[in-house]
Amino acid sequence: MLELPQKIKVEIHPMNVNHFIDLGYKPILNDYFLVDAQDLMNTSTSSVKVKCDFCDDIYNMKYCDYWQHVLQAKHPELQKAACKKCKQKKSMLSHILNYGVASPMERKEVRQKIANKLYMNQSVPSSTQQRYFCMLLKGEHNFPVDGWNLDIAFPELNIYLEYDGSGHEISLKDNKSKIKFQKKENRRFNNLKQAGWKMVRILSKKDFLPENHVILRFFEEIKEILTHEKIYWVNLDIDSSKLLTDLVDLDIELGSLRKITSIQLVQLSKIIKSGENLC
């Protein structure tokens, strides 16, 4: 709220002289005089003292901004001043009042628009291994579904592939961020499951992958496994040589492993373009 009483020094000019005359002042053109802060014109850029309605701190802001963002707020509960540290609180209140959620990212239509844009621009960061899998298996990279961008998607099968490599753990610096990330992953999995999608997760902490023919063979087997109505996910754990599902865990033989680099990615691209055998 505006701190009152508060006097503001203003310069009188042809654009504001009538405004102050109408309020009972006796201004003189091209002169300065003191007015009550609440009597300023709504376009005034004069700095005024405002008390934050969330924490009671006093701070300065332009009167025109106070008029626009506080006095003219459409919802009465949003006619509150928020200092820099409390802006997020007001933003959350605004989204709750207008949309029923605290963050725009909780709205499915907002997430979908962002996901579509990221897909069209191909601007989601991805690893060399993700791009390699996508190219080898002929999937859709960063495919948007229900506001989520899938690492690699096979829309005709309603299957998506997620790759957890060396960079996966690095990005999760502490236990709190891991818990938050896992909650988001669980919500994502359940949303996609309800939409009819099934998940394949590839785990390789050191980014070692099998030869092409092994990857292709296991992907065909995994697609067959996912036709089972009670199986919604399959994990191919390269580190422990296991195939894990909702129902069973299997020991598997992956053969020799290799580190995928940008060089292998370029080579694979050339092989695909030439029509050579991928195996």
| 166 in the same domain as 71 | no
d(CA 245, CA 247): 5
Strand partners, 49: 60
For the CA atoms of 30, 32, 33, 36, the dihedral, rounded to the nearest 10 degrees, stands at 100
H or E element: which one contains 265? helix 262-274
Whether 104 shows a pLDDT value over 60: the answer reads no
Assess if residue 225 is contained within a domain: yes
Phi/psi for 278 (5° steps) reads -70, -20
Assess if residue 222 is contained within a domain: yes
pTM over 0.75, yes/no: no
| 151 in the same domain as 66 | no
| 265 in the same domain as 150 | yes
Whether 218 shows a pLDDT value over 70: the answer reads yes
Q: Mean pLDDT in the chain?
A: 86
Contact 130, 122 (CB under 8 A): no
pLDDT-derived band at 177 (thresholds 50, 70, 90) equals confident
Which of left, alpha, beta for 193 (phi over 0: left; psi -120 to 50: alpha)?
alpha
Residue 171 confidence (pLDDT): 54
| 179 in the same domain as 55 | no
The residue behind tokens 């865990």 is 249
Residue 57 confidence (pLDDT): 94
Assess if residue 93 is contained within a domain: no
- CA angle 66/15/67 to nearest 5° reads 10
Q: Which amino acid is at 146?
A: D
Specify the 3-state DSSP secondary structure of 215: helix
pLDDT in tens, 44-97: 999 999 999 999 999 999 999 999 989 998 888 889 999 999 988 888 787 677
The residue ranges of DSSP E strands in 52-125, in sequence order, are: 58-62
Structure tokens, 209: 């992958």
Centroid of chain to Cα 99: 18
Residue 147 confidence (pLDDT): 76
d(CA 165, CA 171): 11
Structural domain harbouring 71: 7-81
Q: Could you tell me the CATH number of the domain that includes residue 240?
A: 3.40.960.10
Q: Which of 53, 46, 86 is nearest to 67 (CA)?
A: 46
Whether 115 shows a pLDDT value over 50: the answer reads no
Exposed, middle or buried by CB within 10 Å (0-12, 13-18, 19+), for 146?
middle
Contact 66, 48 (CB under 8 A): yes
| 139 in the same domain as 28 | no
Residue 15 confidence (pLDDT): 92
pLDDT in tens, 26-50: 999 999 999 999 999 999 999 999 9
| 184 in the same domain as 241 | yes
d(CA 153, CA 159): 6
Residue 99 confidence (pLDDT): 61
Specify the 3-state DSSP secondary structure of 257: strand
Whether 118 shows a pLDDT value over 50: the answer reads no
Number of domain units in the chain: 2
| 77 in the same domain as 136 | no
